[in-house]
Amino acid sequence: MAGPFIHLSGVNKVYRTRGEEFLAISEATFDVDVGELVSLVGPSGCGKTTLLKVIAGLHPYDGGELRIGSQTHPFDPSRDIGMVFQQPLLLKWRRIVDNVLLPAEILGLPMAESRERARDLLTLVGLAGNENKYPYELSGGMQQRAAIARALIHDPKLILMDEPFGALDALTREKMNLELLHIWREARKTILFVTHGISEAVFLGTRVVVLTASPARMADNFQVDLPHPRTLDIKTHEVFGQYTRRIYRLLGME
C-alpha cells in the first residue's frame, strides 16, 4: 500500500533574531493523501503561512520529519508546486493569458501546448473570453481566478494556497469557495489551503488541521465527513455546526 503524499511528524520551526528564539510551529504532525484538500486554520500570526513555506521548501525546519512524494513518485519543489497568494500578484502590463503562462515560460515548457492549456484553464476557472484583457479590467475575484489558473499551468502535483480569498468581500469569497471546489474536482490536485476563517476551513476541507495562537501548537487534525459536491446550504446542517464548534473550542472561543 502506498504511503501518504505528504508526511509530517513532529515538525518544529524556530525563528532566531537578536539572540532570542521564537517558536513558530510546534510538533506539526499530519499526513496528506493524493487528491485531498486540507485546510490549515488558526488565528492570524499563528504559523500557518510559515508551515506552508516549510512544506514548499522555502524555509528550513528545526527537528521532526517532512517527506513529500516517494522513491517511485519523486517530488521536485521547483516543478511540482503551484502557489496562490492572498493577492493575485498579476503583472499589470501583461494580458491575462500571458500572466497565466508565466510559470510555463520560467520552466521552459513548450509554449504552443502551454498556450492551449492556458486557454483551457481559463475556461475551467470561468474566465473564457477574458484572455486578452489586462488585470485592471477584471474584478478582484476574477483576478484571483486567473491566479489559480496560473498555479495550474505547469500541471503541478501540489497546490499551496495562502489565504487566497482573504481580501475579497464576503459574497465574492463564498462564490470563490464554490469555484475552488469545482476546480479541485475537475483538476484533481492535492491542495493545502491556509485560512483564518473557521467556516471556510470546514466548508472546503476533506480534512482540517488546527493551529493555536502563539506560542504555536498544532491542536487537532480531523476528517470532515460532509458529502460532495458541497453547496452553501450545507452550512446550515447540524454536522457542519459541530465541526465549527470543535474548532472554536480548540481556539478558546467558546
Instruction: Give every strand in the sheet of 218-223, ordered side by side.
Output: 81-84, 158-162, 190-195, 37-41, 207-211, 218-223
Predicted TM-score (pTM) of this structure: 0.94
Amino acid identity for residue 195 in this structure: T
Model confidence band, residue 22 (pLDDT cutoffs 50, 70, 90): confident
Model confidence band, residue 231 (pLDDT cutoffs 50, 70, 90): very high
Model confidence band, residue 253 (pLDDT cutoffs 50, 70, 90): confident
- pLDDT, average across residues 78-91: 93
Residue 109, C-beta contacts closer than 8 angstroms, at least 6 positions apart: 154
pLDDT of residue 46: 85
- pLDDT, average across residues 141-146: 96
Q: What is residue 17's three-state secondary structure?
A: strand
| C-alpha triplet 242, 247, 250: angle, nearest 5° | 125
d(CA 203, CA 197): 10
Model confidence band, residue 254 (pLDDT cutoffs 50, 70, 90): low
pLDDT at 73 exceeding the cut of 90:
no
Residue 110, C-beta contacts closer than 8 angstroms, at least 6 positions apart: none
